[in-house]
Amino acid sequence: MSKSSDYIRACRRIENAINAATGEGAGSHKRRTAMLRELAEWATTFYSIESYERISTLRLPWKAWERELYRASRLVAAAILLVALDGLTKARAIGFVNVPPADYDEAIRLLSLAGLSINDIASRQSPDIKNDLAAVRERLHVHLEPRALEDVLLAAAEGYKVSPGKGSRFTEVFGLCFGSVRRAHRKDHSNVMVNVSRIATQLRARATSNSVFPNAKSLAAQLQVGQAFFPHLDIVGDYHTHPYRSLAELRRNEGWGYSTADAKSVPDFLDDLRRHDRDATHFSLVVAVAEGGKSGAGTIRKAPNVVQISIRDLFFVIGAYRIQLDATYDDEVQLKLSAAVP
């Protein structure tokens, strides 16, 4: 039997409910087959329960499952499409999108139980998953417009220079990146151009010298006002700062990289956005900041996704990281600033 997970336990519970609901007697086999087919599609195509006439009548925690299993079902659906459309082996497909093998095996078991093949399910797949597969082949370019760059540097400088009291020298800062997205399709990939026009810092984020936690009420307020003033822009990313006592310490720790805690926070942040029907976040910026003791040399590119900026005795090193399908980071980003800082 496959190793248990939340995804597997939900599928087995639905299957048991179907068996109990269809019972015995005339027509029971036909009813059970129809409901098992819906279960298989629900587990592998990423459509909501409202799309299924029969199993939606079962008294089960559908809303909770669709929230809790959002990532698991999304990854399974993507892996199935990779096998069906791209001809990948199971091992390559589940490795490509980082889906647990047991979850994939459960999906295949349900398809077999319902008399469906992965090719059958590929033709029924949600457009959201097809877009996800396009995303994993994308090359991400993040462009900070002058105003957005100024916004993030002003907030980072204040969080670093101004003590919050209580014995702390500085605090981290968090905010949202608003912008627009354009895609240029090529034969084997797409270039995704994310243009960041505005950056809104959360004044009520809970911050210390080495951590910052977004505020859900701040998110709601910023989305409400943003929709009124710039409805043509969407949330395309987020940023937070990593302050250090000295430039030497910043460099020694490679402070422009994301921390383990940063990576663990991504799923919760994406869940908060989805509660507001936002699901288009592409990247996170890590803005390391420290004093260097003497004036720097303007703008220096350290890597495709990392740029260093110096303003008098303050040094900022900005790292950009792509948010992948499984809510993890990679550094496959080309970060661009509009102009050198004076």
Tell me, yes or no, whether 239 and 256 share the same domain. Answer: yes
CB of 5 closer than 8 Å to CB of 68: no
Which three-class secondary structure state does DSSP give residue 30?
helix
Name 225's Cβ contacts closer than 8 Å, sequence gap at least 6: none
Residue 186 falls within a domain, yes or no? Answer: yes
For residues 259 and 242, give the distance between their C-alpha atoms in angstroms, rounded to a whole number. 10
Cα-to-chain-centroid distance, residue 310: 30
Q: Quick one: angle between helices 28-45 and 6-22, nearest 10?
A: 160
Domain boundary among 118, 133, 148: 133
Tell me, yes or no, whether 117 and 31 share the same domain. Answer: yes
Residue type, 41: E
CB of 315 closer than 8 Å to CB of 309: yes
Residue 43 falls within a domain, yes or no? Answer: yes
Strand partners, 61: none
**Closest to 93 (Cα-Cα) out of 111, 77, 113:** 77
Residue 142 falls within a domain, yes or no? Answer: yes
Domain boundary among 87, 106, 133: 133
Domain span at residue 272 reads 137-337
Tell me, yes or no, whether 184 and 249 share the same domain. Answer: yes
Tell me, yes or no, whether 123 and 260 share the same domain. Answer: no
**Closest to 152 (Cα-Cα) out of 126, 132, 174, 184:** 174
Report the pLDDT value the prediction gives residue 58, as an integer from 0 to 100: 94
Q: Quick one: angle between helices 6-22 and 70-86, nearest 10?
A: 90
For residues 201 and 19, give the distance between their C-alpha atoms in angstroms, rounded to a whole number. 52
User: CA dihedral defined by 67, 124, 127, 324, rounded to 10 degrees?
Assistant: 60
Residue 1 falls within a domain, yes or no? Answer: no
Report the pLDDT value the prediction gives residue 75, as an integer from 0 to 100: 86
For residues 331 and 251, give the distance between their C-alpha atoms in angstroms, rounded to a whole number. 18
Output the six-digit token pair for 44. Answer: 């592998």
Tell me, yes or no, whether 181 and 59 share the same domain. Answer: no
Tell me, yes or no, whether 111 and 235 share the same domain. Answer: no
Low-confidence ranges of the chain (pLDDT < 50): 1-2
Domain count within the chain: 2
Burial 209-234 (b: 16+ CB within 10 A, else e): beebbbbeebbeebbeebeeeeeebb
Tell me, yes or no, whether 98 and 214 share the same domain. Answer: no
The predicted model scores a pTM of: 0.68
Q: 């420290």: which residue's tokens? A: 290
Reported as a single tens digit per residue, the pLDDT across 2-54 is 458 999 999 999 999 999 999 777 778 899 999 999 999 999 987 888 889 99
Tell me, yes or no, whether 154 and 21 share the same domain. Answer: no
**Closest to 327 (Cα-Cα) out of 283, 278, 285:** 283
**Closest to 333 (Cα-Cα) out of 283, 287, 286, 281:** 283
Residue 342 falls within a domain, yes or no? Answer: no
Q: 């956005």: which residue's tokens? A: 273
